[in-house]
């Protein structure tokens, strides 16, 4: 990375990766496809969009659109593909997994089958 950016600091990237991931995941929970298009591509983008479209089709959304916590950010690897750096991290997250049936007027009622 120093070849591409002489000011690159690996230690700073870990903190930034945590912030970026939290922003990404909250936008995933809210179903913000436009944001997801800006920050991810390929398989990750397709998977996120498929989950969001499934929610829309089934008529539910997440009640809580924030993470409880994100921690233990570990660098797993990296590569440069098509002159773009890519980094892989393992991040542990906690969230409430409660769903809301939007077909019932958006009231905070658990979706059928939700626990």
Q: Which two tokens stand for residue 93?
A: 């997250």
* Mean pLDDT lowest among 4-8, 67-71, 75-79, 86-90: 4-8
pLDDT tens-digit map of 44-59 = 899 999 999 999 999 9
- CA atoms in the 13 A half-sphere facing the CB of 15: 3
Predicted structure pTM score: 0.76
Q: Could you give the CA distance from residue 107 to residue 81 in angstroms, rounded to a whole number? A: 45
Question: Which of 83, 99, 9 is closest to 51 using CA atoms?
Answer: 99
Q: Could you give the CA distance from residue 21 to residue 93 in angstroms, rounded to a whole number? A: 10
């Amino acid at each position: 990375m120093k070849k591409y950016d002489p000011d690159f600091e690996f230690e700073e990237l870990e903190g930034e990766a945590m912030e970026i991931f939290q922003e990404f995941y909250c936008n995933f929970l809210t179903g913000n496809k436009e944001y997801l298009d800006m920050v991810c591509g390929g398989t990750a983008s397709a998977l996120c969009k498929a989950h969001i479209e499934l929610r829309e089709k089934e008529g539910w959304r997440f009640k809580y659109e924030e993470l409880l916590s994100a921690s233990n950010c570990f660098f797993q690897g990296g590569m440069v593909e098509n002159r773009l750096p890519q980094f892989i991290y393992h991040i542990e997250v906690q969230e409430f997994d409660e769903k809301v049936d939007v077909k019932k007027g958006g009231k905070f009622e658990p979706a059928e089958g939700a626990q």
